[in-house]
């Protein structure tokens, strides 16, 4: 069969690409589908590691690269980036003419992407809708994307209910789990010596992997939480043999300020390291060998449990996201963070219930995409009322 049905995958960051990759691989191998790829956002920024190269290193061809990041991550800077994304995506869709635009998550550039797709009358398929969070505008963006998208691939039962509660057609909402598990099952993770060689460091004692993102809504920007976390880490460095590996914050409002604070901390403390981006294989290998994942990144909730590593989740950002018992949640005070670290580091993984599936999500998603042309008027949206 001619590969006439074109699926255009849009990725804006290292985080969404890691979850999209197993789906992209299966699309590229499908006789019924043709894969198109658009890279944008922090992928194209040297400041954030030029992670579009990871896409190319994985053997994919990027059809369009749309630069949108401004020099400012203020509210105005992010709004300007969204406007550039809206224009760039509309032009790219006009040229590529995909049948479906596939996106993931809750970032501002993804909202602009599906807006452009809607205006171009191209249906969108959305992965990871229906989740809830607090402290950031990601929550609002995620639900907005849901209301534009025509197909929904959610990661757990609660999310499935929420998407339907938002008025979406139940026949277009699919619960297959998270593709993060597909990644973990498919990758051959690095042994300790190989990982040390690739990172250029020597692990000493306990390993902490730390990722902290700014908050973008409310009065709390997360600054105090970050300083409290670093105070606790500093005390741990004095008490124990410890290796601390930080990964940079994403390109949200205030992300550059977080990265500057982390850079200063690493310069002043031995056995601490800061990376722009580790890539999926190195990051997952590191999490597997770490004693703890600490911060407020969703990776501590999605990937870390499946790799047998406990998580300390700080503050509001992921507070409402569904998580297994290996995730220890705490407020952003020094005492609370220190107590959570103490409890998590001795956690026994026996009988931990995993909540994001078994690792076949990408295969099931592609099955739906292969038959998506059978949906009548896929780009047409209707609101489905539910009875209370």
Q: What is the pLDDT of residues 162-184, one digit of tens each?
A: 999 999 999 999 999 999 999 89
pLDDT at 220 over 80: no
Q: Please check whether residues 284 and 322 belong to one and the same domain.
A: yes
**Domain residue limits at 298:** 188-344
On whether both 163 and 192 belong to a single domain, the answer is no
- Cα–chain-centroid distance for residue 375? 29
Q: Are residues 67 and 139 in the same domain?
A: yes
Please indicate, yes or no, whether residues 199 and 105 belong to a single structural domain of this protein. no
> Is the residue at 193 inside a domain?
yes
| HSE, side-chain direction, 13 A CA sphere, residue 211 | 23
17 and 163 belong to one structural domain: yes
**Which range, of 82-96, 211-225, 277-291, averages the lowest pLDDT?**
211-225
* Domain count of the fold of the chain: 2
Domain assignment present for residue 64? The answer is yes
Residue 15 within any structural domain of the chain: yes
Q: Is residue 274 part of a domain?
A: yes
Residue 383 lies in a domain: no
CATH number of the CATH domain containing 243: 3.40.50.2000
Please report which confidence band the pLDDT of residue 1 belongs to, taking 50, 70 and 90 as the band edges: very low
pLDDT value of residue 280: 85
- At 200 the pLDDT is 95
Does pLDDT of 15 surpass 70? yes
Mean pLDDT of the chain: 92
Ranges 4-13, 43-52, 110-119: which has the least confidence: 43-52
Question: Same domain for 266 and 328?
Answer: yes
Mean pLDDT, range 202-226, rounded to an integer = 84
| Spatial separation of the C-alpha atoms in residues 250 and 49, rounded to whole Å | 11
Q: Tell me: do 10 and 45 sit in the same domain.
A: yes
DSSP letter at 150 equals: S
Identify the band that residue 253 occupies on the pLDDT scale cut at 50, 70 and 90.
confident
3-state DSSP helix/strand/coil % of the chain, to nearest 5:
45, 15, 40
Please tell me whether residues 159 and 203 are part of one structural domain. no
Q: Is residue 127 part of a domain?
A: yes
Bigger pLDDT: 116 or 223? 116
Q: DSSP per residue over 81-115, as a string?
A: HHHHHHHHHHHHHHHH--SEEEEES--HHHHHHHH
d(CA 2, CA 193): 46
Question: Is the pTM here over 0.85, yes or no?
Answer: no
- Does residue 252 fall inside a structural domain? yes
Q: What is the CA radius of gyration of the chain?
A: 20
Answer whether residue 210 is part of any domain: yes
How confident is the model over 45-94, as pLDDT tens digits? Answer: 888 788 899 999 999 999 999 999 877 778 898 899 999 999 999 999 99
* 340 and 363, same domain (yes or no): no
| DSSP 8-state secondary structure symbol assigned to residue 228 | H
Q: Based on the domain organization, do 120 and 197 belong to the same domain?
A: no
Do residues 332 and 367 both lie within one domain? no
Q: What is the pLDDT of residue 194?
A: 96
Given a cut of 60, is residue 333 above it in pLDDT? yes
In this predicted model, what pLDDT tens digit does every residue of 188-207 receive, in sequence order?
999 999 999 999 999 999 99
Answer yes or no: are the C-beta atoms of 332 and 315 closer than 8 Å. yes
Residues 169 and 204 in one domain: no
Cα angle: 130, vertex 319, 43; to 5 degrees = 65
């Amino acid at each position: 069969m001619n590969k006439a049905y074109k699926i255009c995958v849009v990725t804006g960051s290292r985080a969404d690409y890691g979850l999209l990759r197993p789906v992209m691989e299966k699309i590229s191998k499908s006789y019924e589908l043709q894969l198109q790829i658009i890279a944008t956002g922090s992928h194209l920024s040297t400041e954030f590691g030029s992670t579009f190269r990871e896409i190319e290193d994985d053997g994919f061809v990027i059809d369009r690269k749309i630069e949108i990041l401004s020099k400012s991550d203020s509210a105005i800077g992010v709004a300007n980036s969204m406007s550039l994304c809206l224009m760039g995506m509309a032009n790219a869709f006009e040229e590529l003419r995909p049948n479906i635009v596939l996106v993931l998550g809750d970032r501002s550039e993804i909202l602009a992407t599906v807006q452009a797709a809607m205006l171009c009358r191209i249906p969108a398929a959305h992965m990871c809708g229906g989740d809830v969070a607090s402290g950031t505008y990601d929550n609002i963006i995620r639900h907005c994307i849901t209301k534009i998208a025509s197909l929904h691939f959610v990661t757990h039962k609660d999310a499935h209910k929420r998407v339907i509660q938002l008025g979406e057609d139940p026949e277009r909402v699919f619960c297959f789990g998270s593709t993060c598990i597909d990644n973990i099952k498919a990758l051959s993770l690095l042994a300790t010596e190989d990982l040390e060689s690739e990172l250029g460091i020597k692990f000493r004692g306990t390993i902490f992997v730390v990722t902290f993102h700014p908050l973008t809504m409310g009065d709390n920007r997360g600054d105090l939480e970050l300083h409290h976390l670093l105070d606790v880490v500093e005390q741990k460095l004095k008490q124990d043999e410890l290796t601390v590996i930080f990964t940079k914050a994403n390109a949200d409002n205030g992300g550059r300020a977080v990265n500057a604070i982390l850079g200063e901390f690493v310069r002043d403390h031995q056995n601490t390291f800061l990376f722009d981006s580790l890539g999926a294989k190195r990051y997952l290998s590191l999490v597997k060998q770490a004693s703890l994942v600490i911060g407020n990144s969703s990776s501590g909730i999605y990937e870390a449990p499946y790799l047998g590593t406990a998580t300390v989740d700080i503050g509001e950002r992921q507070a409402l996201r569904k998580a297994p018992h290996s995730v220890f949640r705490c407020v952003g005070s020094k005492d609370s963070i220190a107590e959570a670290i103490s409890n998590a580091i001795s956690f026994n993984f026996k009988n931990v219930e995993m909540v994001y599936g078994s690792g076949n999500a990408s295969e099931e998603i592609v099955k739906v995409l292969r038959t998506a042309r059978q949906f009548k008027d896929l780009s047409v949206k209707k609101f489905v009322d539910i009875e209370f």
